Structure 1
Amino acid sequence: MKKSHLFKIFIFSILLAFSSEISFAQQATVTVHQDSKIPELLHLKKELEKDNKLGDGFTIQLYYGELTKANSVLSRYRASYTAWPASLEYETPNYKIWAGDFASRLEADRALLEIKEKFPAAFILSTN
């Protein structure tokens, strides 16, 4: 066989491979059937969360113990995070450091993921 004939067969094979890949590609559409009241319920839930009438409020507790250590934890937290304000709370005979005031558990969980990087003992606490 001549080289030009082999070259033509090679080019034809490549074109055939590409065209077969295109012709066998799959296309699909997805149709979601949902109750017409779902968007209305989601809107109502958001409004109730804004008013904090649905569910409890949440905060993140960073520390529970003596005052000296509590002040140290509060200073370290404030130097690292500004998105969620922190406060020093007193419950006889111990002090607590609380960070953030979250309307939903989801918000608190998202913040906790970030805060746990520097305060691994932190956990979510219901405030209501």
Structure 2
Amino acid sequence: MNFIHKYNLFIFSILLIFSVKVAIGQQGTVTVNEDSKIPQLLTLKKSLEKENKLSDGYTIQLYYGELSEANYVIKKYRGAYGAWPASIEYETPNYKVWAGSFGSRIEADRALIEIQRNFPSAFILKPERRK
């Protein structure tokens, strides 16, 4: 019978300790004040990442020259390939057509083999990060 009293006392003590911790625990609220432009910046960052503007990866250049020809090349590319996004980049005074956003050289090499069937002068480049 002595063991049962000690066991009950032990259980009661543990319950008392936990209930005191809960009763004494601190209550508080946190208010976060953020600039209203943060959601806009996050949206802009997401769109730049989709367009491969922030990436340190590889891309394939299909064309370098006049705007009218660049528009023709990108239209032809988009009609033939849907797996990799393409964009026209401007570098004074010429336009470039870039395709794909590849994280590694091996991925870019595999895509280049397929793309060169329709664009034999295409080549891989690693664009410099824009500042």
- TM-score past 0.5 threshold: yes
Helix, strand or coil at the partner of 1:90: strand
Instruction: State the alpha-carbon separation in 2 of the partners of residues 127 and 65 from structure 1.
Output: 17
Unaligned 5+ runs, structure 2: 1-55
Corresponding residue for 2:94? 94
Instruction: State the alpha-carbon separation in 2 of the partners of residues 88 and 67 from structure 1.
Output: 9
Helix, strand or coil at the partner of 2:100: strand
Say whether 1:77 aligns with 2:77: yes
Instruction: State the alpha-carbon separation in 1 of the partners of residues 68 and 81 from structure 2.
Output: 20
TM-score where L is the length of structure 2: 0.55
Instruction: State the alpha-carbon separation in 1 of the partners of residues 112 and 103 from structure 2.
Output: 14
Q: How many residues align?
A: 73
TM-score where L is the length of structure 1: 0.56
Aligned-residue Cα RMSD (Å) equals 0.7
Instruction: State the alpha-carbon separation in 2 of the partners of residues 100 and 74 from structure 1.
Output: 12
Instruction: State the alpha-carbon separation in 2 of the partners of residues 113 and 125 from structure 1.
Output: 14
Unaligned 5+ runs, structure 1: 1-55
Corresponding residue for 2:111? 111
Letter in 2 for 1:88: I
TM-superposed CA distance for 1:86, in Å, is: 0.2
TM-superposed CA distance for 1:85, in Å, is: 0.4
Letter in 1 for 2:94: N
Instruction: State the alpha-carbon separation in 2 of the partners of residues 107 and 67 from structure 1.
Output: 28
Query: Deviations along 1:11-51, whole A, 9 cap, x unmatched?
Result: xxxxxxxxxxxxxxxxxxxxxxxxxxxxxxxxxxxxxxxxx
